[in-house]
Structure 1
Amino acid sequence: MGTDTAANRFYLTLAIYSQRNEFDAISGRLGVEPTDCSERNGIYTWRFSTLDACADDDVSAHAALLLRTFSETSDALVALARAGFEFRLWVFASGEDSNYSFVLPDALVAWLASFGADICVDAWS
């Protein structure tokens, strides 16, 4: 079984979904600027990705960056969840091997659970 080595590439994206364009409101409440925003079929998505911000190939480094970036936003994230926003953490993983593994840090999983985020994995080789 593979591990999170240089042959593998990981990055994380926190996505916040809404029915209306509330990109500025989300950024204002969180104090964090998105790396990307989009609209598709009436669903608006605010995203923060570690892709360009972290060159490390260890998923733990990407998790640490995400936790540092959003360290002061827990109350705001819970408030957004209560207001009907939906959250997903996208884990993008690619590897040279067809069989590899990674473990998301406990602190990241607990943080995501605190505001009801889903975890989605997009893996390819």
Structure 2
Amino acid sequence: MLAIDDLHVAYGQSEVLHGLNISVAPGEIVAIMGRNGMGKTTLMKSLMGIMPKKSGSITMNGADVSTMKSYERVAKGLAYVPQGRMIFSTMTVKENIETGLVVSGEKNVPENIY
């Protein structure tokens, strides 16, 4: 389970996330939606450790995500792919997805992803 509790993230003195709380159960799919400048990318960057949190907690299955290295976060199933960019630009979308199968334990891209 992913739990975000009272998360505050800022760019300098400008706070972007103000006490955000989100809980995602195993197997649950959650969409983060909003207009430009509402903090969606800031949230994702904070989850991945690209953007440090000011306060609050981010845990995954009870483990503090903020103390993990990026590869440890990925091993736990947490990843971020920026919109409009392919991680490996010479590969197809399917091939890009297949690169993450090692972490998931799957051998093939699940049909329900389409």
Q: TM-score, normalised by structure 1?
A: 0.26
- Which is bigger in relative contact order (C-alpha 8 A, separation at least 6)? 1
- Whose strand fraction is larger, Structure 1's or Structure 2's? 1
Q: TM-score, normalised by structure 2?
A: 0.28
